[in-house]
A and B are shown apart, each in its own frame.
Chain A
Amino acid sequence: MSKDDGTISKKRFMEELRRYQKGSVTRRHFLGVTGLGVASAVMGAAVPGLRPRPAWAAGDIGDRVILATWPNYHDEANFDAFTEATGAHVQVNVFGSNEEMLAKLQAGGSGWDVFVPTNYTITTYVDEDLIAPLDTSKLANYDAGSFEQRFSDAGSVNGTLYAVPKNWGTTGFAINTSKLDGAPTPTTWKEFWDLTMGTYSGRTMVHDYQLTTIGNALKYFGYSFNSVDEKELADAEKLLLDAKPHLFAISSDYQPPMRNGDAWMTMCWTGDGKQMNVDMPEIVYVLGKEGGELWSDYYAIPKGAPHMDAAYALINFLLDPAVNAKEVLAHGYPSADARTNALLPKELLEDPILYPAADLLSALEFGAAATLTDPNRAELLARFKSA
């Protein structure tokens, strides 16, 4: 059987797939609020001519695998290679927050095979019986010993492995230093909020995400990033409400306004900070001295995943150090896998945005499970937005 005897060739298929992957405007907030990522994935399934032909290699794992992940977080060439090798086409659903992923799984019928939860959410998925334990015999490329432990231990709950590490990173802020008029670059969250209500009024963005927006407001007062203390949350809420009239937007889609100059400062994740800094050196990435978030994302399989074999095949494929190294080069988020890092160029491993200095890192906190389920934090952000 020739590979190209169908109505559409493999090459043509990948071109078509790329086209609407590009068309789906991969922006975190945009896709988050609109569900266009889901829509484009559904479209991919609905157009029969675009489906790959049945598998001819690596055993029959079906013709598709559905991945729920974050935007700008993969190398599309790797997905092409996976399809080429297995015949299963990767449908990508893009999400804007852990809350939204949890909401979709709680509502049932998500149809996902693989999803990408952040460290602090995994125990909740286990408690809610939404996540399947992983069978390591199907993950030949998973080598527990090669991962830095602090970025991999959240994957195991009560001794059972539920998730394997994808990437890790930090949450700091990005600031366009050309608008500082010679003032020194801020280094703390206190300065972030003071600038917001001062010379950067109308030019600052905060995430549309309870963990980081509330967490970094708590940092203004020196409280824990993860606080669920009522008095401390009340202080944070007051700060947020005071700052709200000075904000440019409450949105996790901060790259476009930062790049075109509408916004001058924003809460920011490692990879986005790196991407903006590469193109516009005047935008620098800062980790607040008081601390903030250190996070680690994982690959996991939801209970009742419709294409279980394909799910294992995809995770195993992405854990391959050579594949993983390409991922890191594409998205700029560090990997905790020593085998992957051995394949990466030295400049990248020494990059201060990806690998911050030890004293900055030590001040950071991992998100706590309590923040995901705490009703006060969820309601606080909702109140802040609707105020």
Chain B
Amino acid sequence: MRQLRRNGVLLAPAGIWLLVMLVLPLVVVFIFSFGERGAAGGYVPALTLEQYANLPARWTAFKNTLILAPLGTLAALLIAYPLAYYLAVRCSPKWRTTLLILVIVPFWTSILIRSYAWIFILGGRGIPALLEMVGIDEVRLINTPFAVLVGIVYGYLPLMVFPIFVSLDKLDKRLLEASSDLGSTPLRTFWQVTLPLSVPGVATGCMLVFILLMGEFLIPAILGGGKVFFVGNALVDLFLQSRNWAFGSAVAMTLVFIMLVTVTVYMKFISRLGGQRDDISLM
């Protein structure tokens, strides 16, 4: 009984927080999604599936999000992994802390300001002007899906580097020696030892980046020039411009649902990979 009460006390702050800040708002959004837009905007209670029927009107936003979020995650992974590997395995401990801090430093400035800086780098007087000097004319970078992708990778890279770094840092270096002693080439050691052991870090990093990207609106708004539209941008518009809370709620619930499904499938997939890894280590 006393044990129970103590657990209750321990869990109460987080439980109340989640209830008030997550569960209740979600219930409100769920209820709103079956309502209608008020005459001057806002929400009028109703029981209709009209909002969900209207979802195809935002198909492009969902499509952009579902293409660019995984693509951005993949690009971030491909850039972050070698960096994390270098930091954890190759780099001399003397430099490691300094380099790790350098990875964090950009976080000291708002993502807003950093994304805004890319407008000038990708704009006509930035990279395209440099390309013109070497004879490549008429390159348009800003306000394209590519610009959004660059912004995404830049903004989210540290979130990918750190989990991978942590899992590689914990890696028992004796396993690498053992692999080498048993005649493996360095490449084979990487594929059969290092990579499988870093799967948890990769999985965490990918999930962090992917989930945040699914709700992203800032980077597409700034670097997409209003032309590369994410679901997040559609939501901002629905709540702050057209004030259609009912439709906005339906779009939000759909996004939550898509995220739940993809993350569940992803977790299943990862736990199967993890299982294989356990088999390897048992052998």
Binding site for B on A (CB under 8 A): 25, 30, 33-34, 36, 97, 99-100, 102-104, 106, 124, 127-128, 202, 208, 210, 244, 247-251, 256-257, 260-262, 372-373, 375, 378-379, 381-383, 385-387
Contact = CB atoms under 8 A, between A and B. Distances in A.
B70 interface: no
B233 interface: yes
A34 B115 CA distance: 12
A249 B227 contact: yes
A363 to B, nearest CB: 27
Nearest to A377: B242
B206 interface: no
B121 to A, nearest CB: 12
Interface in B28-42: 37, 39-42
Nearest to A208: B226
B74 interface: no
B127 interface: no
A34 B239 CA distance: 14
Interface in B137-167: 140, 142-143
Contacts of B61: 386
B71 interface: no
A261 B128 CA distance: 12
Contact of B112 (A34, A100, A106, A256): A34
B40 A373 contact: yes
A247 B221 CA distance: 15
A118 B42 CA distance: 20
A248 B241 contact: no
A34 B59 CA distance: 24
B215 interface: no
Contact of A248 (B58, B113, B143): B143
B240 A103 contact: yes
Given A382-B241, A383-B57, 4 more contacts: A99-B243, A262-B125, A378-B244, A386-B58
The 8 A-B pairs with the shortest beta carbon distances in the complex, nearest first, are A249-B225, A378-B242, A250-B226, A262-B124, A386-B61, A99-B241, A373-B40, A33-B221
Contacts of B125: 260-262
B238 interface: yes
Interface string B56-95: 0110110000000000000000000000000000000000
A202 B41 contact: no
Looking at chain A's contact residues, the main secondary structure is: helix
A86 B254 CA distance: 51
A386 B229 contact: yes
Contacts of B116: 25, 30
The CB with the most chain A CB atoms within 10 A, among B61, B225, B233, is that of B225
A260 B242 contact: no
A375 B244 contact: yes
B193 interface: no
B41 A106 contact: yes
B222 interface: yes
B255 interface: no
Given A103-B41, A124-B40, A261-B125, A210 B241 contact: yes
A102 B40 CA distance: 9
Given A99-B241, A382-B238, A250 B225 contact: yes
Contacts of A262: 123-125, 142
B225 A385 contact: no
Contacts of A372: 40
B119 interface: yes
B241 A251 contact: no
A260 B243 contact: no
Nearest to B229: A386
The CB with the most chain B CB atoms within 10 A, among A97, A262, A373, A383, is that of A262
B218 interface: yes
Given A103-B239, A262-B142, A381-B241, A386 B225 contact: no
19 contacts: A25-B113, A33-B217, A99-B240, A100-B240, A100-B241, A102-B41, A103-B239, A106-B40, A127-B40, A208-B226, A210-B242, A251-B225, A262-B124, A375-B244, A382-B234, A382-B242, A385-B229, A386-B57, A386-B60
A386 B240 contact: no
B37 A375 contact: yes
A382 B237 contact: yes
